[in-house]
Amino acid sequence: MSVKPFRKIIHVDMDAFFASVEQRDHPALRGKPIAVGHAGARGVVATASYEARKFGVHSAMPSAKARELCPELIFVHSRMKHYQAVSKQVRAIFERYTDIIEPVSIDEAFLDVTDNKIGARTGLEIAKRIKKEIREELGLVASAGVSYNKFLAKIASDYRKPDGLCVIHPDQALDFIDKLPIEAFWGIGPATAKRLHALGITTAPQLRAVSLSRLTELFGKAGLTYYNFVRGIDDRQVTTHRERKSVGCEETFGRDIKGKAIDEALTSVINELAQRVNRRKFKGKRLTLKVRFPDFTTLTRSASGLETLDSVEKITPLAYRLLKNVTLPATGIRLLGLSVSKTEQEIREDYLAKQMTLF
């Protein structure tokens, strides 16, 4: 009886990507605390260098707060097109080893190297080579995690950052998982962690002791994900094509707006969204509203319509209905956004339609 070999999955994460590119391109910035983003009163940090992170500065932090934490912080304007070009150079290095590459974002990706182009027996060998080539050819640093599934590869890449390299072997998986706080689990954010803490669950062994039925009762389909992850199970494939599931747009205002200005802004966002939906020929029936207050509190409201939301006329009534469900502060709002996405039913129907084409 033959034993099915384990997959070899690598997760590569570029360390402080935007900031590292700026420090590479501008030697005077090396070794200094920098933040990529807008330094203005309403600015937000996109990425912080590790020198800045020592002071508590992190991405998505208001620039004013970052400056309080690190008075010597140097702000650098974002150069997104340049970062995208560098990201393509990183991907070209990945392609030396495999064509099964799943970008997660501009600065991280999963690679399936089970059957690789150089005949390497281990994922570790390839991860070492990738890190070396990124450093020598691009002057940048990456962290890499190697394991038999995506969940564990991702955890491994985060484990020893920056410039990390970690392998989680199948025989070591449960021991490794048991050392983690539940916050380290993919998909468990602050809100879910708070709910778990309220139930007395703070560690992986405690989470593993909860039955599947109880987890699904508490968290819906995410409960099954947590149940599997805490057991080292993740059957998701590394996919080279990711189907678009939503189209959205948002606007951050130069100053807080209120009253009639909010209606005008919503009309503008609706028009932009309708154009994007039609340009991408996207079909979806679920609308999500995003509102951010001056204190950075962010709320979302969602609802599904009966028709595909592909025009101003169809989006407008649903958007205003969602806005009425938000209690707006007297101080106004700083951001307004809308997105159209597929409902669970639409996703299932698309999947079934694709399966039928196989027969």
The residue written with tokens 């208001």 in the block is: 62
* Residue 348 burial (C-beta neighbours within 10 Å; 0-12, 13-18, 19+): exposed
Helix (H, G, I), strand (E, B) or coil at 290: strand
- The CA distance from 132 to 140, in Å, is 10
Q: Kind of pairing, strands 298-304 and 333-341?
A: unpaired
> 342: how many CB neighbours lie within 10 A of its CB?
20
- The CA distance from 155 to 230, in Å, is 12
Roughly what angle, to the nearest 10 degrees, separates helices 212-219 and 221-229? 130
Please answer whether residues 19 and 49 qualify as being in contact, where contact means their C-beta atoms are separated by less than 8 angstroms. yes
The token pair at 154 is 């991702």
Please answer whether residues 196 and 184 qualify as being in contact, where contact means their C-beta atoms are separated by less than 8 angstroms. no
Helix (H, G, I), strand (E, B) or coil at 234: coil
Q: Which residues are catalytic?
A: 108
